[in-house]
A and B are shown apart, each in its own frame.
Chain A
Amino acid sequence: SQKIEQNSEALNIQEGKTATLTCNYTNYSPAYLQWYRQDPGRGPVFLLLIRENEKEKRKERLKVTFDTTLKQSLFHITASQPADSATYLCALVGGFKTIFGAGTRLFVKA
């Protein structure tokens, strides 16, 4: 069955460092991969989309990579700030179906 994995352990980093979050998947060939941010008690907010034929996508301090051979996406936040603290979800899109990961909680300490 299709499976999407994000690190369930929280990631703690110091302000100013680069945060790197991982999304791995199996038994799936998504056409797109999306990343969302979710704050406690709120709905997810869309951040970035990357297509299967794209290796990298950037938006301001955010960078996403997509390796369809490794079946993995990496999500980077450079120069991280305490305001970046949240849960980050990856989502695979293929057919008319979107599969969400459980998310990784990021804490950025001042």
Chain B
Amino acid sequence: DGGITQSPKYLFRKEGQNVTLSCEQNLNHDAMYWYRQDPGQGLRLIYYSQIVNDFQKGDIAEGYSVSREKKESFPLTVTSAQKNPTAFYLCASSIGGTLGDTQYFGPGTRLTVL
């Protein structure tokens, strides 16, 4: 059963804590992405990776960090430096990082800061 999974579905964090969101895919895709979705706004790109051991900042990378040690995995850490982390986080993958590649999204993680 191929696809992209994210865990946990819901995550609660106290202010000042770092949290890590998991994203795994078994589609054999080279490229992976992290987006943030807020009400009334389009998806905003946080980080993307076109290949293992390489990643690039997106439009809103401040306060976030990622790693890409395996092709299948692209975890996102939300650090205490992120001032407004409460949001819906979406991970996606595509066959390659080329123009027009369809992105396949995971089910999302809803992060709430208490």
| A88 to B108 CA separation, bound complex (whole angstroms) | 17
Verify if B113 is at the interface (C-beta below 8 Å from A): no
Interface residues of A in 21-71 (CB under 8 A from B): 31-32, 34, 36, 41-46, 49, 51
| A1 to B48 CA separation, bound complex (whole angstroms) | 21
Is B99 in contact with A95, judged by CB distance below 8 angstroms? yes
Is B100 in contact with A32, judged by CB distance below 8 angstroms? yes
Verify if A13 is at the interface (C-beta below 8 Å from B): no
**A-contact 0/1 string along B86-114, CB 8 Å cutoff:** 00001010000111101111111010000
| A97 to B41 CA separation, bound complex (whole angstroms) | 17
**Chain A contacts for B103, CB-based, 8 A:** 46, 98
**Chain B contacts for A96, CB-based, 8 A:** 97-99
**Chain A contacts for B40, CB-based, 8 A:** 8, 102
Verify if B81 is at the interface (C-beta below 8 Å from A): no
Verify if A93 is at the interface (C-beta below 8 Å from B): yes
**Chain B contacts for A43, CB-based, 8 A:** 90, 92, 105-108
Q: How many residues of A contact B (CB 8 A)?
A: 26
Closest chain-A Cβ to B114's Cβ sits at a distance in Å of 20
Instruction: For B102, give its contact among A31, A46, A89, A102 (CB under 8 Å).
Output: A46
Verify if B42 is at the interface (C-beta below 8 Å from A): yes
**Chain B contacts for A97, CB-based, 8 A:** 45
Closest chain-A Cβ to B44's Cβ sits at a distance in Å of 8
Q: Which residue of A lies closest to B100 (CB)?
A: A32
| A99 to B43 CA separation, bound complex (whole angstroms) | 8
Binding site for B on A (CB under 8 A): 4, 8, 31-32, 34, 36, 41-46, 49, 51, 89, 93-103
Binding site for A on B (CB under 8 A): 35, 40-43, 45, 90, 92, 97-100, 102-108, 110
Given contact pairs A41-B110, A45-B105, a sample of 10 additional A-B residue pairs in the complex whose CB atoms are under 8 Å apart: A32-B100, A42-B107, A43-B105, A44-B90, A46-B102, A49-B102, A51-B100, A96-B98, A98-B103, A101-B42
The 3 nearest A-B residue pairs measured at CB: A43-B105, A100-B42, A100-B43
